[in-house]
Amino acid sequence: METETKVYTRYSILTEDINRIGIVHLCREHKLDCTLYEGVRLFGGSIKPSLTIVHLAPLEANAKEEVKALARDIKAINRQKEVWITEETVTLKKLLD
């Protein structure tokens, strides 16, 4: 089986899972294709709902500034103290039939 390989940057925004509809609207405003993953955050004895927004961008897309702008907007509308961004290079392999 053949594969097609591409190198992308995976950006993840880590935030609390509050106001999800507002976050979806912001993702659309910033024109970022993304996937939202809900989870549970455990920190310092507290349990809170969490949300991870993942955007995959080709290396040449230089999407960092738009991802940072989205994270700032999420932080503002949800009145959060912290919103985190991770950035990593990943290799995508598409299986070809």
What's the pTM value of the predicted model, to 2 decimals? 0.90
Q: What's the whole-number mean pLDDT along residues 25-48? A: 95
pLDDT in tens, 51-86: 999 999 998 888 999 999 999 999 999 999 999 999
User: Which residue in this structure is represented by tokens 């039939």?
Assistant: 97
Q: Within a 10 A sphere around the Cβ of 81, how many other Cβ atoms? A: 5
- Among 15, 6, 14, 97, residue whose Cα is nearest residue 56: 6
